[in-house]
Chains A and B, each alone.
Chain A
């Protein structure tokens, strides 16, 4: 009797995870060795110095802290200290806005580029030059010219997530099969109608793949941008806890960033499957 592949994969995943936790736990155990110190001095020092506690938190510390955060995700202790749920909501809101603007700009522009070889050639050098620029390189320029940190963060998400969508849309539109377009022409379908009923469905899988790449990039960018401008968001949370050298909270934030990134990606993946068609 052989187990299904899916079940076997799940077992291997769990074993790997348990092994990772075990290794992590062993690696961060207290060394227990410390220099002798007077109790008066020890009272003023941290656990790393007094009990030889590892500077890196173990899985148990992280688990306990995570439980604490999950119990009250929406607390609000003033402008600089809010629950993880609120911070994530801010980040997702920013990403959503920047990403939507990018969609609104990239898809029509991509259509234009895809349908006109002239514009495609003319814009190509600019796109190639702007595409590889890191989000953090845009930040000072945005802050300086826009003069508003939250709009700057949204701008940076926009500028970084627009390129994959633009290129994929252009590519998808340009590579729609000539036969289909010719059929539409013979049936005297107008340009606008042709774009919506023939080209869009044909290019949709490619466009959505571009959108899926973009949402991943937008989520990468937001953490970096928020660490820089601060205020709210999961990136600010990482920075604030790093400031307190609380690695436990930083690890929790890393976990959550990964989780949310995965969810966003899955949503777009589902959309992609919906528009994919067999040829």
Chain B
């Protein structure tokens, strides 16, 4: 990524053809290289490119293509006069600046004053930090981020349109769209908030019980029934031979109550979002058994969600919001920005937690609660792309644990709710390089998930709710 403008075509690079040769995203020299990179591809914005520059590149590329339909002619011109001269000449008779601005705006937002709800945990980092660090303002939006008491309340307030969009657990928009635990209302996920960033925390007294096989009869807390936390903990327990419905107790507990309950000995542990895990360690009541990334590296956790109605009534506002979130997520993905972010989101107006705790979560250098200091820069990470295969996986787990009864059209639901195609479009407009596919395979505790065969995957689990 060292080359500037490498995400979009640099129309003033004489050595490069415009899109037609090279790969689909324009980031790699050949299609083969693109495909190879694709597997590990993370759609991060390019570091050395300001947004303005990126849009300028795209607009200039389009103009160049219009002025010189033939690549050969363009290259000859560039070779003979040089890129700077060509750009200057081009701007003489084509106001690139205006075009760039018009492109970046892409239609003024129908509604500028927006309310976005969040739950005070580090998963909401991009949604929260976009306010103090100006990512919303840059898209011409005036967004108020409102702290909310719990998942059920954030769901109801978003359904009631008190919020235009909200931070939700990744499975929640699927559950709402399917009418599980609420009236069926079509909801969408234009962006994933964070990947990884959760953990299993146990009470200090269990420090010698590190084998899950010894956990029979223990009580665990999860934040919500329709949460990755629920599915990951159940998965983890089941892989170790425990039936999560009969061998242990799982309780839905709001995150702040988890630490208090752990201290009071009401629960033995929890699979919870961070800063809660780190907070339990900070207060000396628990230790980190494993990070959630040890169950599934790169798993989604929380999502940025909006109702389909909001998209149809205010498509430009929605696109601007998506751009702000994608940008903020890209910013948060970079390790060097994490300290600044921790300081920006720690005050009482946002997460309201000690800065040290947030720093340990975001930088990945943390106390483990047993006297050791560990380092894992990917403890929490940020990647906005709403892979539809994530949604398919969640659906298999919803079926596995009896939340969905009967048949479900995995791919139709995933494509309705996880807006990979629209997000791709937005990312391309922003000059980013989204993945070409919307499904990818991944492995959970060493077991590969093939999004094309969800029913086979589901059938392969021995421990599941008998229905």
Contacts and interface: CB of A to CB of B under 8 A. Distances in A.
Contacts of A240: 147, 348, 352
Given A44-B366, A55-B263, A240-B348, A37 B256 contact: no
B279 A245 contact: yes
A78 B349 contact: yes
A210 interface: no
A16 B263 CA distance: 31
Contact of A38 (B120, B354, B371): B371
A228 to B, nearest CB: 6
Interface in A24-44: 35, 37-38, 40-41, 43-44
Contacts of B144: 79
Contacts of B282: 44-46, 49
A144 interface: yes
Interface string B351-367: 01110100010000111
B179 interface: no
A81 B351 CA distance: 10
Contact of B347 (A79, A81, A228): A81
A45 B368 CA distance: 10
B98 interface: no
Contact of B256 (A49, A230, A243): A243
Interface in B300-358: 347-350, 352-354, 356
B366 A230 contact: no
Nearest to A247: B260
A232 B356 CA distance: 27
A229 to B, nearest CB: 7
A233 to B, nearest CB: 12
A38 B372 CA distance: 8
A149 to B, nearest CB: 6
Contacts of B120: 243
Nearest to A42: B367
Interface residues on A, range: 20 to 34
Contacts of B279: 245
Contacts of A268: none
B372 A41 contact: yes
B373 A77 contact: no
B160 A80 contact: no
Interface stretch (B17-25, B60-68, B148-156, B434-442): B148-156
Given A44-B373, A245-B279, A147 B353 contact: no
Chain A CB within 10 A, most for which of B144, B146, B263, B349: B349
Given A35-B371, A149-B157, A48 B283 contact: yes
A230 B283 contact: no
A143 B160 contact: yes
A45 B348 contact: no
Interface in A75-98: 77-81
A228 B283 contact: no
Contacts of A149: 153, 157, 160, 162
A40 B360 CA distance: 13
A227 interface: yes
A77 B146 contact: no
B281 interface: yes
B145 interface: yes
A231 interface: yes
B259 interface: yes
Given A81-B347, A231-B146, A243-B120, A45 B162 contact: no
Count class of interface residues, chain B: 35 or more
A77 B349 contact: yes
A61 interface: no
A124 interface: no
B402 interface: no
A63 B348 CA distance: 20
Nearest to A228: B149
B241 interface: no
A138 interface: no
B283 A49 contact: yes
Given A77-B348, A230-B147, A244 B284 contact: no
B284 A45 contact: yes
Interface string B160-185: 11100000000000000000000000
A231 B349 CA distance: 11
A38 B282 CA distance: 15
B162 A77 contact: no
A245 B162 contact: no
Interface string B252-266: 000110011001000
B360 A44 contact: yes
Contacts of B283: 46, 48-49, 55, 245
A41 B146 contact: no
Contact of A245 (B147, B148, B260, B372): B260
A8 B157 CA distance: 54
Interface string A236-279: 00011111110000000000000000000000000000000000
B115 to A, nearest CB: 9
Contacts of A245: 256, 259-260, 279, 283
A228 B153 contact: yes
Interface string B399-436: 00000000000000000000000000000000000000
Given A46-B284, A229-B153, 17 more contacts: A44-B356, A55-B263, A77-B348, A79-B144, A79-B147, A80-B350, A147-B162, A149-B162, A227-B149, A230-B146, A231-B146, A240-B352, A241-B352, A243-B120, A244-B348, A244-B352, A244-B353
10 contacts: A41-B371, A44-B360, A79-B145, A80-B348, A80-B350, A81-B348, A81-B352, A227-B149, A229-B153, A242-B256
Interface of A: 35, 37-38, 40-41, 43-46, 48-49, 55, 77-81, 143-144, 147-149, 227-231, 239-245
Interface of B: 120, 144-149, 153, 156-157, 160-162, 255-256, 259-260, 263, 279, 281-284, 347-350, 352-354, 356, 360, 365-367, 371-373
- The 6 A-B residue pairs whose C-beta atoms are closest, nearest first, are A49-B284, A81-B349, A44-B367, A147-B160, A81-B348, A78-B349
